[in-house]
Amino acid sequence: MIIKTPTKFFLVNGSSEGFSLLNAFDGALLASGVGDTNLVKMSSILPPSCEEIKPPPVPMPQGALVPTAYASLCSDVPGEVISAAVAIGISNDANRAGLIMEYSAKAEEKVVVDQVKKMVEKGMEMRNRGIKEIMAISATYKVVTIGAVFAAVVLWD
């Protein structure tokens, strides 16, 4: 393997106003406690036996390269409600991977959370894999001028 497989994970969320769309995203990362790391986006599997760290190591080592599955949304429409959520389906077989799904929309938080959980259920069905537990985390924000939401599963070792 080229990159070490993660053995730990944690969930974070945040939202922020910002000077630009990217500054708002950056602010949402800061609010999540991962704002001084380098997120590397990946498609979305929880390795078997990956353990939750609680509380998460926030702040993280500065500048670390961190594989992360995340949902985010930025908006510059004042008054708009934006929400982002991630969910993990933990396999009931400890030797099988879990599935992470991400969803974001210009919608209320509950809508987005319900959708991302259904996405996990359907994805685990597709694998014929039983679900022990679904974990989820979400963020919602009503934009003042420019805003962003962020929800993530951060993989760690």
Residues in contact with a copy of itself by CB under 8 A are: 1-6, 18-20, 22-23, 25-27, 29-30, 35-48, 50, 61-67, 69, 96-97, 99, 101-103, 115, 118-119, 122-123, 126-127, 155-157
Catalytic site residue from 20, 38, 49, 92: 38
Are 152 and 69 in contact by the 8 Å Cβ rule? The answer is yes
Q: Which two tokens stand for residue 126?
A: 């597709």
Q: How far apart are CA 106 and CA 109, in angstroms?
A: 9
- Residue number with CB closer to a copy of itself (10 or 25): 25
In 3D space, the residue among 137, 48, 143, 61 whose CA is nearest the CA of residue 96 turns out to be 48
Q: Least distance from C-beta 2 to a copy of itself, angstroms?
A: 5
Cβ at position 48, least distance to a copy of itself in Å: 5
Q: How far is CA 38 from CA 27, 60, 133, in A?
A: 14, 10, 29
Structure tokens given for 47: 């390795």
Could you confirm whether 32 is annotated as catalytic?
no
Active site annotation includes 43: yes
Known catalytic residue at 13: no
> Which candidate in 13, 44, 72, 75 is catalytic?
44
User: Quick one: 64 or 77, whose CB is closer to a copy of itself?
Assistant: 64
145, 20 in Cβ contact below 8 A? no
User: 80 an active-site residue?
Assistant: no
Q: Which residues are catalytic, by number?
A: 38, 43-44, 102
